[in-house]
């Protein structure tokens, strides 16, 4: 019985020692992960503040910087989504829109397929179509601008012709007056 009790105590001591060693190592890792995650969440919140205050380029930089060091896959998806939105919101050219759409597509690949609430991926076809609309509108605008330039040249030419005709009419009027004057004096 004493031998069994000693064996029991040794096994209990080894188990307790293992729990302490393994538990300390794991809890240390959890604390470090929680500290990193808290830091990441603060950086994410700062990016969101910049986004909502209209500082889209700064938000874009915040999110890109955060993606280089982030460890949590759930937060990474949120950051990728926010980065894509920032790039799209800051877009000033067709190339910027394309870059934003590529980031959106990257986020979309990571996004879970089972959303409990609204699915932001529903916006993607709208953005893609809007991008095509913008390209078409820009092309039409450029074509209209070229037509306007052509019309302006035609207007300028007609104005010059009009001025020449006015000068000729004035010259004819003066000649007519001279002829009338000479007729009266004869």
DSSP 122: G
**pTM above the 0.75 mark?**
no
| Whole-angstrom distance, CA of residue 156 vs CA of residue 151 | 8
Averaged pLDDT, 41-60: 89
| Residue labelled with tokens 């029991």 | 8
pLDDT of residue 161 exceeding 90, the answer is yes
Dihedral over Cα of 99, 102, 108, 109: its sign: negative
| Residue labelled with tokens 């874009």 | 60
Average pLDDT, the chain: 76
Q: Are 43 and 62 in contact (CB under 8 A)?
A: yes
Residue 133's pLDDT is what?
A: 76
| Whole-angstrom distance, CA of residue 155 vs CA of residue 166 | 16
| Whole-angstrom distance, CA of residue 94 vs CA of residue 114 | 32
% the chain with pLDDT above 70: 73
Residue 165's pLDDT is what?
A: 94
Domain boundaries, the chain: 2-111
| Whole-angstrom distance, CA of residue 55 vs CA of residue 35 | 27
Q: Are 40 and 66 in contact (CB under 8 A)?
A: yes
Q: Which residues touch 111 (CB under 8 Å, ≥6 apart)?
A: 77, 81, 120, 121
| Whole-angstrom distance, CA of residue 80 vs CA of residue 109 | 11
pLDDT per residue as tens digits for the range 74-114:
888 888 888 988 888 888 877 888 888 888 888 888 877 77
DSSP 120: G
The tokens describing 9, both together, are: 């105590």
Q: Are 37 and 71 in contact (CB under 8 A)?
A: yes
| Residue labelled with tokens 């397929």 | 113
pLDDT of residue 14 exceeding 90, the answer is no
């Amino acid at each position: 019985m004493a031998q069994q009790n000693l064996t029991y105590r040794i096994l209990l001591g080894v188990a307790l020692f293992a729990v302490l060693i393994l538990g300390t190592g794991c809890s240390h890792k959890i604390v470090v992960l929680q500290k990193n995650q808290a830091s990441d969440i603060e950086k994410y919140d700062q990016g969101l503040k910049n986004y909502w205050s209209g500082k889209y380029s700064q938000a874009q930089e915040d999110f890109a910087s955060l993606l280089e060091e982030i460890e949590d896959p759930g937060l990474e998806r949120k950051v990728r989504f926010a980065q894509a939105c920032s790039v799209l919101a800051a877009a000033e050219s067709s190339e910027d829109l394309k870059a934003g759409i590529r980031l959106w597509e990257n986020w979309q690949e990571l996004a879970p397929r089972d959303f409990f609430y609204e699915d932001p991926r529903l916006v993607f076809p709208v953005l893609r179509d809007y991008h095509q609309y913008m390209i078409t509108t820009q092309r039409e605008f450029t074509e209209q601008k070229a037509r306007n330039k052509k019309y302006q040249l035609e207007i300028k030419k007609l104005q010059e012709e009009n001025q020449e005709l006015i000068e000729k009419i004035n010259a004819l009027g003066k000649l007519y007056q001279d002829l009338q004057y000479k007729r009266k004096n004869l």
